[in-house]
Amino acid sequence: MTETTSPSSPSTAPAPSAQSSPSSQSSPPSPAPSAGARTVVVTGAGTGIGRATARVFASRGAHVLAVGRREAPLRETATRPGAGTITPFAADLTDPDAPRRIVAAALRATGRLDVLVNNAGIVTNESLGTYTRAGIETQLATNLVAPVLLTQAALEPLKEAPEGGVVVNITTSVGLRAWPGNSLYAGTKTALETLTRGWAVDLAPHGVRVVAVAPGAVETPIGAHRGLSPEEDLAVRDWQIAHTPLRRRGTPDEVAWAVAGLAAGEASFVTGAVLPVDGGAVVA
């Protein structure tokens, strides 16, 4: 399942304005991105899959704008930039002005935007019978509306990317088979997969590829973010492992490898594809 944040936890720092440097007050200066380096935006980059994805792109020389709601975890993500750079950018993706500010921040760094990774997502502890309108709207706003609007805001620079722009949507293999207590979350991510295929067709004439990675059970803080007790989290973990043929949960690095691989130039003929990274869960 994708990297998540708690819907009820406010950001520890306000999102910086489009005119301010998102890391100027709290992070050590990063070296300037090398000429010709790709610029990558990763949402939900504070922990888990998003953090691992930001770091793997940076390790390959990219300038990464690491977007998340809380400044402190983003600063931690930026402590391992590898050969590239990682710039924290605190923003709530559901804020109406967030897409514009995120794209503007990416363009300020290198004047280009090559890859957009729509990773951020949330899952609540509600299920059919206990749903609230607020809980439904929160998941829809973050998991579906936010990536649509951010991708839309990034369209023009992605079309102008020198090697062709790439959008990678992080969905979930939960949408391909029923897992208990995850129907609404899976529904939002399945919708994102449908958009992935549609956008791939729409944007192909502009040289922009759109793909998705669908993680299964992955070792992330999702249980705590969801509000599960340690005992409940352990029970979920045991159930997931029992229903995964490889009999373990994946790591964020394993998902990040798939994301970076699909975004690489060597995958230039791949678009509209959804790659499960789930230990075989969807085929069991």
- Considering 185, 244, 255, 274, which one is annotated as catalytic? 185
What residues pair up with 279 in beta bridges, in sequence order?
A: none
Nearest 10 degrees: Cα torsion 251, 257, 111, 94 = -40
Over its C-alpha atoms, the chain yields an Rg (Å, rounded) of 18
Reduce the DSSP state of residue 250 to 3 states and report it.
strand
Output the CA angle 209-183-90, nearest 5 degrees. Answer: 55
CA atoms within a 13 Å half-sphere pointing along the CA-CB vector of 105 = 31
Amino acid found at 274: V
185 is catalytic: yes
Helix (H) / strand (E) element for 74: namely: helix 71-77
Catalytic site positions: 185
